[in-house]
Amino acid sequence: MQVSLAESPYDFELDRVIDWVRRNNFKKVLLQSAPGLIRYLPEIGGYIKQMTGADTIVDGRGRFGACDVYTNLTGFEAVVHFGHTGFINTSYPILYIPAFSNIDASKLFLKILDALSNMEKVGLSASVQHIKTIPSLYEYLARNGKKPFMGQPGKRCLYPGQVVGCDYLSAIRIDSKVDCHVIIAGGEFHAIGLALSVFKPVLHVEPYAGSVEWVSKSKVDRVNRVRGFAALTLQSAKKVALVDISLPGQHTSSLIEKLEVFLRHVKPSSQVNSFTTELLTDQFLLGLKELGYEVVVTAGCTRFATDDFDRSPIPIFEAREVYGLYLKGLNVDKGVFILQ
């Protein structure tokens, strides 16, 4: 299927890309993106070649976050990464292009206001693609009798109100001040993550579908049941696999080392072993199950434990929740601990 940039709902800031390539005299550039944007990269590469003479290579593996930008690919001088804002250091230059959405989400403001009829204090969040809508939504709600709030970003975000899959601090910081949260984001990924991270209701604004819906308690409960099952499995397991992810944005070997000592202390009759891998693939997880491991404790992306349970042949537990589980116990309402 032919894909046209002219029909894309995203701003790829190609003038900025061209200027960056020209100023640095790059001759070979690697193009990366979030999975949903890969379709646009070949045409973007052709345009870069036309305007600068630089050759481009498309990274065929969709990158799930700024933690996932590092690559072992060779033969390039620089990377242009579309779809995320950056926070890690690399040995090569990277230009981050957020790919802000061109969709006019203000058409949904009245729907949002109607949905908030019984709410006064409202927290505002968005994925980076829709973060530019937040200031105008803030003003609209304030003019219509609401008290909007925006939290300061966590270390993996750049903008007030911005959230990413592993960092909802901007919303967590204002959770005690608001009656509910509004998040503008495509798909359910960020909305579910936010609902798992805060204690107030979450209203999901989906600009591509044009929908405004409350995140249902049943969806959150389903994830928390799985987290609870993984927690109980860890408590009873006789064979535990600790897994560090080698990607620079997720690598936390020091945490794995501390958890290995801790788990051997609280589970003296269990076998606890450490592993490292670049990606938590189905094949890797199946291999651990075949070796007799009953549960995986991963220090990589916090979303492995909440989003990958459908495909995993073995329960996955979030490493940062281990101490909470053993020192505070299992929280029935929130699974184990807030996602953050």
- Alpha-carbon 249 to chain mean position: 12
pLDDT category at 3 given cuts 50, 70, 90 is: low
**Residue 40 confidence (pLDDT):** 94
Q: Are 220 and 198 in contact (CB under 8 A)?
A: no
User: What's the per-residue H, E or C state across 238-280?
Assistant: CEEEEEEECCCCCCCHHHHHHHHHHHHHHCCCCEEEEEEECCC
Bridge partners of 148, per DSSP, are 122
pLDDT category at 60 given cuts 50, 70, 90 is: confident
Domain 224-328 has CATH 3.40.50.11860: yes
pLDDT over threshold 50, residue 159: yes
Lowest mean pLDDT among 78-92, 94-108, 145-159: 78-92
Helix (H) or strand (E) holding 223: helix 217-236
Lowest mean pLDDT among 112-116, 219-223, 247-251, 308-312: 247-251
Q: Is 146 helix (H, G, I), strand (E, B) or coil?
A: coil
Residue pointed to by tokens 């949903």: 36
Measuring CA to CA, which residue among 210, 189, 60 is closest to residue 126?
189
Indicate the angle between helix axes 217-236 and 189-197, nearest 10 degrees: 70
| Region class of 186: left (phi > 0), else alpha (psi between -120 and 50), else beta | beta
Q: What is the CATH number of domain 105-215?
A: 3.40.50.11850
End-to-end CA distance of the chain: 39
pLDDT category at 333 given cuts 50, 70, 90 is: low
Residue 62 identity: G
pLDDT category at 182 given cuts 50, 70, 90 is: very high
**Residue 143 confidence (pLDDT):** 98
- The structural domains of the chain, with segments of one domain joined by +, span 5-100, 105-215, 224-328
pLDDT category at 91 given cuts 50, 70, 90 is: confident
Lowest mean pLDDT among 14-18, 58-62, 144-148, 176-180: 58-62
Residue 76 identity: F
pTM over 0.85: yes
- Catalogue the E-assigned strands of the chain: 10-11, 28-33, 55-58, 78-82, 94-97, 100-101, 121-126, 147-149, 180-184, 202-206, 211-214, 239-245, 271-277, 295-298, 316-318
- Alpha-carbon 299 to chain mean position: 15
pLDDT over threshold 80, residue 189: yes
Share of the chain above pLDDT 70, in %: 93
Domain 5-100 fold: Rossmann fold (3.40.50)
Q: Are 181 and 171 in contact (CB under 8 A)?
A: yes
- Could you report the per-residue pLDDT of 224-283, keeping only the tens digit for each? 888 888 989 999 999 999 999 887 666 677 888 999 999 999 999 999 999 988 888 889
Residues 6+ apart with CB under 8 A from 168: 125, 154, 193, 194, 197, 198, 339, 340
Q: Are 57 and 31 in contact (CB under 8 A)?
A: yes
b/e map 62-71, b = 16+ CB within 10 Å: ebbbbbbbbb
pLDDT over threshold 90, residue 340: no
- Alpha-carbon 302 to chain mean position: 9
Q: How many CB atoms lie within 10 A of CB 210?
A: 12
- Could you report the per-residue pLDDT of 10-56, keeping only the tens digit for each? 999 999 999 999 999 999 999 999 888 999 999 999 999 999 999 99
Q: How many CB atoms lie within 10 A of CB 241?
A: 25
Residue pointed to by tokens 């009798």: 145
pLDDT over threshold 70, residue 330: no
Helix (H) or strand (E) holding 282: helix 282-290
- The reply to whether 105-215 and 224-328 are identical in fold is yes
Tokens of 109: 């403001």
**Residue 338 confidence (pLDDT):** 42
Q: Are 170 and 157 in contact (CB under 8 A)?
A: yes
Residues 6+ apart with CB under 8 A from 224: 196, 333, 334, 335
Residue pointed to by tokens 């909802």: 168
